[in-house]
Chains A and B, each alone.
Chain A
Amino acid sequence: MLNKDGVPSLDQIKTCFPNLESLQKPKAIIECYEEIPCNPCSTSCPFKAIYIGPNINKRPQVDFNKCTGCGVCVYSCPGLAISVAQLVGKEVRFKISYEFLPLPQVGEIWTAINRSGQMIGKAKIEKVTLTKVQDKTALIQVLVDSSLLYDFITVGKKI
């Protein structure tokens, strides 16, 4: 339970995803389950696809029609609660935020990790970006098996 151990339920997780058809294109998945005073995701979105409004305690609402899955919100979120997901054949392409060293390198295979910290499969590292504007929060693009769509959250270690 989110309140007890920090792990959201599958039902909670699914509320953050658009339908599978929309996921043919990359879309932001915002796992911000409680009202906290915070709005950088909304103000950083270049496409005005994330709405919070004047009361910054409100939870962000994503307009999946406007969201291009660019990933700016992923590294702008102070809670590291945002990823981008896209279905690509039998795989899912995720963009995740990452703040540890050493950074994964393109081409490496890392463990795929779920929200409880358990290994659930493998993640192929496709792209690693860390520009100045990202301010030390790297953006890692990975491919994982599509069965992990609602389970994958981060990478653990290099295999």
Chain B
Amino acid sequence: MIKRALVVIGGGPAGLCAAKIAAEAGQPVLLIDRNPYLGGQLIKQTHMFFGSEKQYAKTRGFQIARNFLAELEQASQLVEIWTDATVVGLYPDFVVTVYRHNQYLKVQAEAIIVATGASEKVLAFENNDLPGIYGAGAVQTLMNVYGVKPGHQVVMVGSGNIGLIVSYQLLQAGVEVVCILEAAPTIGGYKVHASKLRRLGVEIYTSRTIKKALGKEAVEKIITVALDEKWQEIPGSEREFAVDAVCIAVGLTPLTNVLGMMGVKMKYVSELGGLVPMTNDYYETSIPHLFVCGDAAGIEEASSAIVEGNLAGLAACYKLGKSHPHHQKLVADYQEQLRILREGPFGVKIRQGLAKLGGLEDVK
């Protein structure tokens, strides 16, 4: 049995920040990620981030990941990194089982931070399994990690920030974005993103969704339909678009499977993307010494994941008796950052979701 005091599962923005601040506190940490590289979704983000300087606003996502990795390297004597390593089990006695390089490994941890992120929601429509129909994450991976165009004429389904940002990136890659479909009556994401696309000639159709895809070997065209205020299809409003790719960006759901194995208290909160673990203010779950942060704790922007990762990292170190020298001050600052990030109109849904979820009392 391998023994490691602190294990962080997931090397995206939340996990990287959790590991980083733990190292800063002098706490050795094992960071595990199933991908061959760290950074999570950050490495595909070619746009400048929003937020304030504290969340690296104005810096492009992939650059934020590079900066984090450089900082982790500085602390390499305290941070052990396992990439290409998939956590396959989490047990009540704090044993983490990992599949890595054809080996099944067992790690005995004292504290665990789960930062597994999210998975994409899918959309049910006829022929949604035709080749050429992708999730937005796959499109970004193909384009921005491997430099492969996912198609030539793409329809984007969903106008949240992911749908809008990926549409812009498709245009930058020289792909035609035929249109953006949004089932809701208004655009979901930031209007600055929408305006950026509109001026480039991309039409955004609200109250319209995809009805079916058609094609022999792969998608060749799609049928869309308008929706009324009760989200019912309006007969006769069908419109066809010739496409060779469809990109689905209809939201994310927290990836909480390993937390489920531990039996942490969870609640279904649609505003936070689905089944989410309950935590106290320090991101500790109903099981002491088991923390969760980032999208796995409820879907929000990456800037919030960065802050939550720091909070969970600080709290885990505190619990392990290795408090960061500026623990109190940092916790207060990160909590204030989160409050501000969630304060505006785009935070309403998150605030409602968190109110529904309810917090746990701090476990002493």
CB distance from B228 to the nearest CB of A (A): 15
Provided the pairs A3-B186, A43-B52 are in contact, do residues A57 and B191 lie with their beta carbons within 8 angstroms?
A: no
The DSSP consensus for interface residues of chain B is mixed
Query: Is B321's beta carbon under 8 Å from chain A?
Result: no
Contact B303 A37 (CB under 8 A): yes
CB distance from B362 to the nearest CB of A (A): 27
* CB neighbors of A among B25-62 (8 A): 47-53, 57-60
Contact A6 B198 (CB under 8 A): yes
- C-alpha gap A113/B196 in the complex (Å): 12
Contact A76 B58 (CB under 8 A): yes
**Highest count of chain A CB atoms <10 Å: which of B52, B187, B197, B199:** B199
Contact B51 A38 (CB under 8 A): yes
One of B14-22, B143-151, B342-350, B352-360 contacting the partner: B342-350
> Which A residues touch B301, using CB under 8 A?
37
Query: Is B200's beta carbon under 8 Å from chain A?
Result: yes
> Which A residues touch B200, using CB under 8 A?
117, 154
The DSSP consensus for interface residues of chain A is loop
> Which A residues touch B330, using CB under 8 A?
none
CB distance from A15 to the nearest CB of B (A): 14
Q: B341's closest neighbor in chain A, by CB?
A: A37
One of A26-34, A123-131, A141-149 contacting the partner: A26-34
CB-contact partner of B346 in A32, A36, A39, A76, under 8 A: A36
Chain B 179-204, CB within 8 Å of chain A: the 1/0 string? 00000011100111111111111111
Contact B199 A116 (CB under 8 A): yes
> Which B residues touch A7, using CB under 8 A?
195, 198
Provided the pairs A37-B344, A78-B58 are in contact, do residues A8 and B195 lie with their beta carbons within 8 angstroms?
A: yes
> Which A residues touch B53, using CB under 8 A?
39-40, 43
Query: Is A65's beta carbon under 8 Å from chain B?
Result: no
- C-alpha gap A8/B192 in the complex (Å): 10
* CB neighbors of A among B196-244 (8 A): 196-204, 206
Provided the pairs A40-B58, A43-B53, A56-B51 are in contact, do residues A34 and B345 lie with their beta carbons within 8 angstroms?
A: yes
CB-contact partner of A39 in B57, B185, B202, under 8 A: B57
CB-contact partner of B60 in A31, A40, A135, under 8 A: A135
CB-contact partner of A6 in B48, B60, B195, B344, under 8 A: B195
> Which A residues touch B303, using CB under 8 A?
37
Query: Is A67's beta carbon under 8 Å from chain B?
Result: no
Contact A36 B172 (CB under 8 A): no
Query: Is B261's beta carbon under 8 Å from chain A?
Result: no
Chain A 6-34, CB within 8 Å of chain B: the 1/0 string? 11100000000000000000000001111
CB-contact partner of B57 in A4, A38, A117, under 8 A: A38
Query: Is A45's beta carbon under 8 Å from chain B?
Result: no
Query: Is A99's beta carbon under 8 Å from chain B?
Result: yes
Contact B191 A34 (CB under 8 A): yes
Interchain residue pairs A-B with the least CB separation, the first 10: A79-B192, A57-B344, A6-B194, A117-B201, A78-B48, A6-B198, A40-B58, A38-B50, A3-B186, A35-B344
Q: Can you list 20 A-B contacts (CB < 8 A)?
A: A4-B185, A5-B203, A5-B206, A6-B195, A6-B198, A7-B198, A36-B344, A37-B51, A38-B57, A39-B51, A44-B58, A54-B340, A77-B48, A79-B196, A80-B192, A80-B196, A114-B199, A117-B198, A135-B63, A136-B60
